[in-house]
Amino acid sequence: MEEEKEMELELDKVYALPDFEYIEYNGYCLAIAPELAKWIVLENNEQYEILNMFTEGFDIQTALARFEDNQEDVIAVLTQLEAKQIETSETRSIFSNTRLHLHLTNKCNLHCPHCYMNSGAALSNELTTDEIKMLCDEFKSCGGTDVSLTGGEPTSRMDFLEIAEYISSIGMKVSVFTNGFSWNENMVERFSKLNVEGVQISIDGYDEATNSTIRGKGVFRRALDTIDLFVKKHIYVKIAVTAPYEIIKEHQEEYISFSKALIEKYSTDAIEINYSYFFMPGRELVPDRISEIKDEYYNLVDKVVTSVYGNIEEDAFVSNLTDCIQDSCGYGGLNVMANGDFYFCDRIPDVNKSGNIRNMPFSRIYELMKIAEEAGKIINFKPCGDCELRFICGGGCRAEHFQTFTKIEDVKKIDFGSIPPRKCDKEHKEKFYRLMINTNERFFC
């Protein structure tokens, strides 16, 4: 069907194509347009020469005449040019940073050993209800569309539902990150009437015994009951699993069975199970220990995820690059702590704070937010900014790969030349080459 469409093109058409960089890999040639995060997969020398003709300004009829004995190769190139809309010069960042991450409180009814927020007791100077409402008003006036409520445990605040209802009433979507322990039917009923994007509930074990070693006794059952209440109200639930290394190492099959049972009960239309592939330093989890288990932990988790969902790497790749470029990791997004401190990254332990909303007008905060957003663009970093994959790979998490950058104290004064380059090897780049070849036709419009 695609070939029939391409044959209907005007034969005198001349393409206005971007500059390509050519990479030979595994018997293919990838013609990559770095600024667009788009590419053409060329299978032989003839296709390479045909594409070169189009980049040099020859029309379709000339190419067909010159490659009279290779019409299928001409059509193969034309199909990709048209189906992938390779002429377009319009790009859109994967992140718009229109979401406010709001930590309502540091108070939490649990005491998880891996908690990177060290949650437990409420801070003495947490934002008042009125201050939170004013912040949401100001964020909305600057184009904000979503507010994620987190903590600590957000339901620990007596005004939690009042705040959620206010966010919805001014036209923004609300989501919540919770341990699921304190919800009851009346709370879920009231919350379900709002403009809800979704709910994330943390469960780290695969049964009561394993979960209780992390989150305490009885939490597992309460969390499952809360999931059930939300699903019945047609609210999408993400289940966040940060499995302890010592447990998942010996019990991968149990995690797989637990996950498959939940999906079978509710379906993927109602829930999503997200396993964390890495740890951040937490209450009882130090950086040295994380470095020691990092690679093995990734592989353990990946085995579970692959057994549950299949190979989702290609799906994620396509999703991330459909109609947008990977120029950002989300750095510049506004994260406000319970005491009003704000950060431009949600990996709070890994970044410096940028101020406090009580000491700065929101217009200034928003100005800094946009400066930070531009500063976080991958084009500013080495070696990524000069790489043909810069908007396809995106450079990864800035806090992980460019730690000097995320420790800056003033986003207005950044010497990018002093930031050590990310370590990138051949294996990392070849992973993307494989993904580009294997998913190529999935980007056909």
For 355-393, how does the pLDDT look when each residue is reduced to its tens digit (9 = 90+)? 999 999 999 999 999 999 999 999 999 999 999 999 999
- Distance separating alpha carbons of residues 385 and 407, to the nearest angstrom: 20
Which pLDDT band holds residue 409 (cuts at 50, 70, 90)? confident
CB contact at 8 A, 287 and 114: no
pLDDT digits (tens, 9 = 90+) for 15-73: 999 999 999 999 999 999 999 999 999 999 999 999 999 999 999 999 999 999 999 99
- State whether 167 and 227 are in the same domain: yes
Q: Is residue 354 part of a domain?
A: yes
Q: Is residue 399 part of a domain?
A: yes
CB contact at 8 A, 108 and 120: yes
Rounded to two decimals, the pTM is: 0.91
Between 280 and 410, name the one with better pLDDT: 410
Full domain range(s) for residue 141: 99-321
pLDDT at 7: 52
Q: Is residue 443 part of a domain?
A: no
- State whether 213 and 308 are in the same domain: yes
Tally of domains within the chain = 3
Owner of token pair 């019409």: 71
Q: Write phi, then psi, for 134 (nearest 5 degrees).
A: -65, -40
pLDDT digits (tens, 9 = 90+) for 178-235: 999 999 999 999 999 999 999 999 999 999 999 999 999 999 999 999 999 999 999 9
The pLDDT > 90 percentage for the chain reads: 87
- State whether 9 and 154 are in the same domain: no
Q: Is residue 445 part of a domain?
A: no
CB contact at 8 A, 263 and 283: no
Q: Is residue 326 part of a domain?
A: no
Q: Is residue 442 part of a domain?
A: no
- Distance separating alpha carbons of residues 77 and 50, to the nearest angstrom: 7
The pLDDT > 70 percentage for the chain reads: 98
- Distance separating alpha carbons of residues 166 and 54, to the nearest angstrom: 56
pLDDT at 81: 96
Owner of token pair 């190139």: 77
- Of 285, 300, 321, the residue at which a domain comes to its end is 321
pLDDT at 42: 98
User: Which neighbouring-strand residues pair with 198?
Assistant: 175
- Distance separating alpha carbons of residues 227 and 199, to the nearest angstrom: 9
- State whether 220 and 249 are in the same domain: yes
Q: Is residue 82 part of a domain?
A: yes
Q: Is residue 444 part of a domain?
A: no
Tokens for 419, please give them: 């930031």
Between 335 and 6, name the one with better pLDDT: 335
- State whether 151 and 72 are in the same domain: no
- Of 90, 117, 148, the residue at which a domain comes to its end is 90
Q: Is the pLDDT of residue 4 over 70?
A: no
- State whether 110 and 242 are in the same domain: yes
CATH number reported for the structural domain that contains residue 257 in this entry: 3.20.20.70
- Distance separating alpha carbons of residues 399 and 284, to the nearest angstrom: 21
Q: Of 150, 236, 164, which Cα lies nearest the Cα of 195? A: 164
- Count of alpha carbons within 13 angstroms of residue 34, beta-carbon side: 15
- State whether 430 and 283 are in the same domain: no
Q: Residues 179-217, buried b or exposed e (16+ Cβ, 10 A)?
A: bbbebeeebbeebeebebbebbbbbbbbeeebbeebbee
pLDDT at 191: 98
pLDDT at 445: 85
- State whether 275 and 370 are in the same domain: no
Distances (CA, A) of 304 to 32, 43, 211, 242: 34, 35, 17, 12
To the nearest 10 degrees (0 to 180), the angle between helices 208-215 and 219-232 is 100
- State whether 263 and 349 are in the same domain: no
pLDDT at 170: 98
- State whether 317 and 416 are in the same domain: no
- State whether 64 and 111 are in the same domain: no
Count the Cβ atoms, other than its own, within 10 Å of residue 147: 27
Between 296 and 7, name the one with better pLDDT: 296
- Of 257, 290, 321, the residue at which a domain comes to its end is 321
Q: Of 171, 175, 96, which Cα lies nearest the Cα of 140? A: 171
Tokens for 296, please give them: 């093995």
Q: Is the pLDDT of residue 2 over 80?
A: no
Indicate left, alpha or beta for 320 from its phi (over 0: left) and psi (-120 to 50: alpha): alpha
- State whether 68 and 198 are in the same domain: no
